[in-house]
Structure 1
Amino acid sequence: MLRLFCVTLCVLVSLSSSFAHALSGKADLVIVKKSESSMQILRQGKVLKTYHIAMGDAPQGHKLTEGDQRTPQGRYILDYKKSDSAFYRSIHISYPNEEDKLRAKALGISPGGLIMIHGENPKSKLPPLEQQKYNWTNGCIAVTNKEMDELWQVIDPGTPIEIWP
């Protein structure tokens, strides 16, 4: 019995150590797959970790205008961090890019902005993992606060993000 406990403990320590090592370097790409409600953190083409995400209330399609509850699609930059976010911590996505601005101008609408990867809704009565089952943001990408702490460590400003349908 003691031997089984020791073996189990060694395996768990090894797994947590290898996970910590995998996330010890910086990400060089973030990929969001909206149809899968997932976000992958990559370094040198290798997926370090995949997160389940919550998005805007209307996640299908590209964000066109302010208030449409959509999460944008395309290639952007994670350009700054905000430690005092209303949703724990946040990392800003450089939406709208030039193409988004041109499209909005041609349509005579505002493209919106302030799209972030952020933590939990502090006003929600749901536990964090339950909250993640629903698309509740205004177009942002939400993870749990614990996951946001992980992302905070591995994502530096300037990291590209690709948001796919």
Structure 2
Amino acid sequence: MELKKRRSNIWIIVSSASLLLLAASSVFYWKLVRLGYAVPIPYILDVFCLNNCPADDLNILHNQFPPDNLLNYDKPLTQILGEPDKLDKNRISILVEKSKYKLTVYNNKQPVKSYPVVFGASPAGDKFKAGDLRTPEGVFRIKDMYPHETWSKFLWLDYPTKQSWRKHIKAKQNGTIGWGDSVGSEVGIHGVPANSDNIIKSRSNWTLGCVSLENKDVEELYQFVQKGTAVEISQ
């Protein structure tokens, strides 16, 4: 009887220790995920191409491109699309062309209005890691949107996506970045500090990797998008 009791106590201790170790490991893993050092579990099959990954260069949303000039920049969006509360926002998408310093709003895949924008301090090339001051390329979704105390409004994108993680891992494999580098996070579309619209007019790339508009422009854009709105960023 005494032997059974001891074995039972040992089993309880081992089980408790195992659960504590598992919990500690889980907390540590999710901290690494939040810091951009570990791939989220739901992404693993796609990131490491164990699930028939699509080619990255096929991840394109817009086939019809706007003219080189700023399309309808002198017209309010309400004049073009009507009142935002009466609009089907599921038809709205965004194309950002870094080489043209331009963000274009699309309605049902048709370009309707463009805005001047600037980017991270190193605008050429895709983003592979935190701190490279580059604006990521690919197709993203707005995962949250809210007023910002410094930059008027903030449209938070879902970077890093599965595609972003694949490019990050490939960059580590080919030596472009180090194995200790983080993929980065908190990329979005936002305005500028008060009375700083000249940053946009002079095409001064000042962000850490976000897309930046004049405040009046991001405030207008904010009314016509929603969580889930697709945002394509190209070079």
Q: Contact 2:137/2:233 (CA < 8 Å) preserved in 1?
A: yes
The answer on 1:119 being equivalent to 2:191 is: yes
Residues 27-106 of structure 1: pairs in structure 2 closer than 5 A: 28-105=92-169
Conserved? CA contact 2:152–2:190, under 8 Å: yes
Q: Is the Cα–Cα contact under 8 Å of residues 23 and 154 in structure 1 kept in the other structure?
A: no
Three-state SS of the structure 1 residue aligned to 2:189 is: strand
Identity, % of aligned pairs?
26
Question: Is the contact between residue 81 and residue 90 of structure 1 (CA under 8 Å) also seen in structure 2?
Answer: yes
Distance 1:85 1:116 in 2: 15
Question: Do the aligned partners of 2:150 and 2:192 also contact (CA within 8 Å) in 1?
Answer: no
Structure with the larger strand share: 1
Any gaps of 5 or more consecutive residues in structure 1? Answer: 1-14
Residue-pair matches, total: 146
Which sits farther off after the overlay, 89-98 or 21-30? Answer: 21-30
SS at match of 1:57: coil
Deviations 1:67-100 (A, max 9, x none): 1110000111112102235322100111111122
Distance, in Å, in 2 between the alignment partners of 1:84 and 1:39 is 20
Note if contact 1:30-1:39 (Cα within 8 Å) is conserved in structure 2.
yes
- 2:79 match: 21
Where do 5+ consecutive residues of structure 2 fail to align?
1-73, 173-178
Greater percentage in helix: 2
Whose RCO is larger (CA < 8 A, sep 6+)?
Answer: 1
Structure showing greater radius of gyration is 2
Tell me if structure 2 keeps the 8 A contact 1:77–1:160: yes
Q: Output the TM-score relative to the length of structure 2.
A: 0.57
For residues 50 and 44 of structure 1, the distance between their equivalents in structure 2, rounded to whole angstroms, comes to 15
Q: Which residue of 2 aligns with 1:164?
A: 234
TM-score, length of structure 1 as denominator length? 0.80
Alpha carbons of structure 1 residues 149 and 23: separation in structure 2 relative to 1, 3 Å = farther
Q: Quick check: 1:145 aligned with 2:215? A: yes
- Spell out the pairing of 1:120-135 with structure 2 (5 A cutoff): 120-122=192-194, 127-128=196-197, 130-132=198-200, 133=202, 134-135=204-205
Query: Matches of 2:117 and 2:165 in 1, distance apart?
Result: 26
